Chains A and B, each alone.
Chain A
Amino acid sequence: MIALEAVNLTKRYKHSRRPALDELNLEIEGGRIFTLLGRNGAGKTTFLRIASTQLMPTSGSVTVLGLDAVKDAGKIRQRIAVTPQDAETIYPLTARDHIMLSLRMRGMEKAAAAQKTRAAIEALELADVADMNTDWLSGGLKQRVIVAMAIATDAELIFLDEPSIGLDPLNRRRVWDQLARMKRDGRTIILTTHYMDEAEALSDRLVIINKGAVVAQGTPQSVKESFTRRSIRVEVGSSFSEKDLEPFGRVLTVAGRYRVLTDAAGAKSLGEEAVARGASIAISPVSLDDVFVDIVGEAEKGEEDEN
């Protein structure tokens, strides 16, 4: 079953010259975790807001759970839940109040809401702080409360805009576990993230958006494999300059060190050159992070060249 389909989806904001979404086409299968990756301002949140019936598109269409996102917004809203980006807790409510508010305002009976709230508190390990004013909680705990407000619902389709922002690695994994559990229950999760490891660990499929258009999509593995021309990452020490490395592949600078994305032949040549110079190198398969930097960087470079 297709949970969401976008056809030629375009969004132009009044005061922006460039469209936030530019004829974007996307199909998301139900019962899966789907991740949207992209730089800040790439159009991820705009897409999420249109698909979750918060924002009108300029043109094109979005079908959510078989319903038109513009005409059937009311029916869609019965079946979805959202965690907005940068959401904040409400003073002076506790974590339990927040989750109860989210469930009760959706019309859930008190006993059922209380039971689901307890389950969400337990699942996200919020029990110790459940009855504390959320203003006293750390940023990570507050974020877990915000996420709990959406995942405690019965929604079939959940939109999470950067749900793990501000969470430490352990807490991120707690959220991941919950998302995986929800997927097992047959629910569909669409999320945005800047964490490539999160996308790689969680997603059944992902899409990379750049400047409002899809530049790559597939499973994390297939996206990586589709870039076979640069399937190997070579970390290089200081005995090479950027110019020395350019003939071997695409050169990235990460934390002051050079990283070359190349193919098997390029890696072999670079290895020989390193041996000749007595320099050390480290070879590994490319990560999603490398692929992202490669694709988005290439797209932007191409644009600069055109200009």
Chain B
Amino acid sequence: MRTSRLRSLWAIMYYLGFIPMLRNPLFIPFVFSSPFTLLFILFVASGGTALPFGIAGALTMVTTELGLFVGTDLASYKIQNKFQDMVVASPVSPLVYMFGVALSELIFGTPALLVLFGLMAWHGASLATVAITMGVVALLWVTTTSIGFFFSAYAPSTQNAFIINGFIATLLSVLPPVYYSVSKLPPVVVPLAEILPTTEASSLFQGALGLGYSITPVLSFAVLFVAAVFLLLLVSFKMKWRET
């Protein structure tokens, strides 16, 4: 049974993640153009000094988009392709399907993440720091993927899912202190920014890049962990597998 589940997981990842990436490598820069454009603007406008903020911001935004795109993919497989109908009426468990689709999106985004990890290392981050950063990326990915799952379950159309997820991506990774320090915000909005997992993740990335932690690292980890667990639980309770 376990082998069968692994085969299912691998099949979903391979056919929905690897194959699209290999057949359409040019899609990767198109899909992740926004985070890298913002990184580039910061780099040029600051004469290179704000590059670490750009890297921290791009890491946060790429991970957020990777998670939210899962919601768009799921909406498409459910509403447009009806592939999810075939999966529901098959031995594939909801967990394997969701995990498979989420990993397929992660595979698609791996080149973008590798570029950013490379930039981090080039900027002087140690291997240990890069490894911790990967852990933060994983926590943020679980959080944003859960948000993507949640909205895909309620999206009435694929177009709707695209618009909602695009809006949430901006709300989570452009407006909050992701490409800049929390200290730049007026004190009155700081608590609001600090409840966002993207703010916490970016603060950890900024710290890892030697910019100093604008929020206590333990608090950032705690907020990210709680957000990931809470949203995962919410999704597992609210996810519509068999429709009512």
Same complex origin of A and B: yes
A97 pairs with B10, CB closer than 8 A? no
Q: Is the CB of B89 within 8 A of A80?
A: yes
Q: Considering the complex, give the chain A residue whose CB is closest to the CB of B77.
A: A90
Contact with B91, one of A78, A92, A100, A149 (Cβ below 8 angstroms): A78
Known contacts being A92-B23, A105-B11, A105-B12, is A77 close to B85, with CB within 8 Å?
no
Asked if B89 and A52 make an inter-chain contact with CB atoms under 8 angstroms apart, the answer reads: yes
Tell me, yes or no, whether A271 is within 8 Å of chain B by CB: no
Known contacts A77-B89, A97-B19, A150-B86: does B81 contact A87 (CB below 8 Å)? yes
Asked if residues B82 and A106 are in contact (CB atoms below 8 Å), the reply is no
Interface residue range, chain A: 35 or more
In the assembled complex, A193 has its CB within 8 A of some CB on chain B: no
Q: Does A35 contact B (CB under 8 A)?
A: no
In the bound complex, CA of A48 to CA of B17 (Å): 30
Chain B residues near A39 (CB, 8 Å)?
A: none
Set B4, B11, B23, B85: member contacting A101, Cβ < 8 A: B11
In terms of DSSP, what is the predominant structure of the interface of chain B? helix
**Residue contact A77 to B91, C-beta cutoff 8 Å:** yes
Distance from B105 Cβ to chain A, minimum over Cβ atoms (Å): 14
Q: Does A104 lie at the interface of the complex (its beta carbon under 8 Å from any beta carbon of B)?
A: yes
Out of B88, B91, B100, name the residue touching A54 (CB < 8 Å): B88
Q: Identify which of B3, B4, B88 contacts A53 (C-beta below 8 A).
A: B88
Contact B83 A107 (CB under 8 A): no
Q: Considering the complex, give the chain A residue whose CB is closest to the CB of B88.
A: A54
A55 at the binding interface (Cβ < 8 Å): yes
| B16 lies within 8 A of chain A by Cβ | yes
**B80 to chain A: closest residue by CB:** A88
Q: A17 to chain B: closest CB distance in Å?
A: 18
Contacts of B230 in A (CB 8 A): none
CA distance A85 to B85 in the complex (A): 10
A56, A106, A149 — which one has the most chain B CB atoms within 10 A of its CB? Answer: A106
CB distance from B88 to the nearest CB of A (A): 5
Task: Confirm or deny: A84 has a beta carbon within 8 angstroms of a beta carbon on chain B.
Answer: yes
Determine whether the beta carbon of A54 is less than 8 Å from that of B82: no
**A93: which B residues are within 8 A, CB to CB?**
15, 19
- B219 contacts the other chain (Cβ, under 8 Å)? no
CB of B85 within 8 A of CB of A87, answer yes
Report how far A249 CA is from B86 CA in the complex, Å: 46
Q: How large is the interface on B (under 10, 10 to 19, 20 to 34, 35 or more residues)?
A: 20 to 34
Residues of chain B within 8 A (CB-CB) of A91 are 20
- Which residue of A has the minimal Cβ distance to B3? A107
Interchain CA distance A93-B242 in the complex, whole Å: 26
A175 CA to B173 CA, complexed, in Å: 50
Q: Which residues of A contact B77 (CB under 8 A)?
A: 90
Known A77-B91, A149-B86; judge A90-B81 contact (CB<8 A): yes
B4 partner residues in chain A, CB cutoff 8 A: 107
Residue of B nearest to A153 (CB): B90
Chain A residue at minimum C-beta to C-beta distance from B93: A74
The smallest C-beta distance from B220 to any residue of chain A, in angstroms, reads 37
- Measured CB to CB, the closest approach of chain A to B70, in angstroms, equals 15
The answer to whether A86 has its CB under 8 Å from any CB of chain B is yes
Residues in A with CB closer than 8 Å to B80 are 88
**Given A56-B243, A88-B81, A93-B15, A107-B7 contact (CB < 8 Å):** yes
> Are A81 and B90 in contact, with the CB atoms below 8 A?
yes
Question: Is residue A159 within 8 Å, beta carbon to beta carbon, of the partner chain?
Answer: yes
Q: Is there contact, CB below 8 Å, between B81 and A105? A: no
Q: Which of A52, A80, A84 has the most CB of B within 10 A?
A: A84
Interchain CB contact under 8 A, B242 and A92: no
The interface residues of chain B lying within 8 Å CB-to-CB of A80 are: 89-90
Closest residue on chain B to residue A102 by CB atoms: B86
Question: A73 CA to B90 CA in the complex, in Å?
Answer: 10
Whether A89 touches B81, Cβ cut-off 8 Å, given contacts A54-B242, A56-B242, A159-B89, is: yes
A165 contacts the other chain (Cβ, under 8 Å)?
A: no
A82 to B5, CA, bound (A): 20
Please report B residues at the A interface, Cβ cutoff 8 Å: 3-5, 7-8, 10-12, 14-16, 19-20, 23-24, 77, 80-83, 85-92, 100, 242-244
Partner-B contacts on A (CB < 8 A): 49, 52-56, 73, 77-78, 80-93, 97, 100-102, 104-109, 133, 149-150, 159
For the complex of A and B, list the 6 residue pairs with the smallest distance between their C-beta atoms, beginning with the closest: A107-B4, A104-B11, A87-B82, A84-B82, A82-B89, A84-B85
9 A-B contact pairs sorted by A residue (CB < 8 Å): A53-B89, A78-B91, A82-B86, A88-B81, A90-B81, A92-B23, A92-B24, A101-B15, A104-B7
Known: A54-B242, A77-B88. 14 other contacts (CB 8 A): A56-B242, A78-B91, A84-B82, A88-B81, A88-B82, A89-B81, A101-B11, A101-B15, A102-B86, A104-B7, A104-B15, A105-B87, A105-B92, A106-B8
